[in-house]
């Protein structure tokens, strides 16, 4: 049980940051896709910049994770179609519901129980992908 506490704490931190940054707000996503504010670009941009630096320094220092292996990000499969088509489908849903797979849970915590409908629909969408994945271009 104790080994899960750290994951709970990381989740709590993530939830707090996304609410306090307003990245969970439908309005902020809409504003982003209209290019009318730097806010969301600043969040994603500074997250990625910090992330690149952290990973470079970790590599340089040969930093190990708690299991004793070198810190490593798994490589994504090579491909084009799945990323461009799948990504676009995701983008359509992201802009419509204003929620990606982190915020949809976080928003339930802010008292928006209506989000449970979005979560159930997302589970269904994932299931349908799994069922037809071999028929789709990847």
Interface of this chain with other proteins, residues 46 to 65, rule: CB under 8 A: 46-52, 54-55, 58, 63, 65
Nearer to other proteins, 62 or 69 (CB): 69
The contacts of residue 113 (CB under 8 Å, 6+ apart) are: none
| C-beta closer to other proteins: residue 62 or 87 | 87
Residue 29, classified by CB atoms within 10 Å of its CB into exposed (0-12), middle (13-18) or buried (19+), is buried
- Nearest to other proteins of 60, 110 (CB atom): 110
List binders of other proteins among 106-125 (CB under 8 A). Answer: 106-112, 114-115, 117-125
Question: Cα(75)–Cα(60) distance, rounded to whole angstroms?
Answer: 19
Among 2, 45, 61, 135, indicate the residue that binds other proteins (CB under 8 A): 45
| CB-based contact 104:119 (threshold 8 Å) | yes
Copy the structure tokens of residue 127. Answer: 């299931």
The binding track of 85-104 with respect to other proteins, each residue x by CB under 8 A or -, is: xxxxxxxxxxxxxxxxxx-x
> Among 88, 87, 100, 111, which Cα is nearest to 26's?
100
Q: Is 76 in the site for other proteins (CB under 8 A)?
A: yes
Under 8 Å between Cβ of 31 and 38: no
| Residue of 2, 60, 62, 75 that binds other proteins (CB under 8 A) | 75
Nearest to 30 by CA among 115, 89, 118, 94: 94
- Determine, following the binding rule CB under 8 A, whether residue 2 of this chain makes contact with other proteins: no
**Residues in 10-29 that interact with other proteins by CB under 8 A:** 10-29
Binding-site size for other proteins (CB under 8 A) equals: 114
């Amino acid at each position: 049980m104790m080994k899960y506490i750290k994951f709970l704490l990381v989740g709590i931190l993530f939830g707090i940051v996304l609410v306090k940054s307003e990245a969970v707000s439908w309005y902020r996503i809409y504003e982003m896709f209209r290019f009318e504010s730097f806010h969301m670009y600043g969040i994603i941009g500074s997250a990625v910049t910090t992330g690149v630096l952290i990973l470079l320094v970790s590599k340089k220092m040969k930093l190990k994770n708690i299991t004793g292996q070198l810190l490593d990000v798994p490589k994504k499969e090579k491909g084009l179609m799945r990323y461009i088509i799948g990504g676009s489908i995701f983008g359509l849903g992201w802009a419509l519901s204003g929620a990606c797979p982190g915020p949809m849970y976080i928003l339930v915590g802010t008292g928006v129980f209506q989000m449970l409908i979005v979560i159930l629909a997302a589970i269904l969408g994932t299931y349908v992908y799994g069922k037809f994945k071999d028929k789709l271009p990847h």
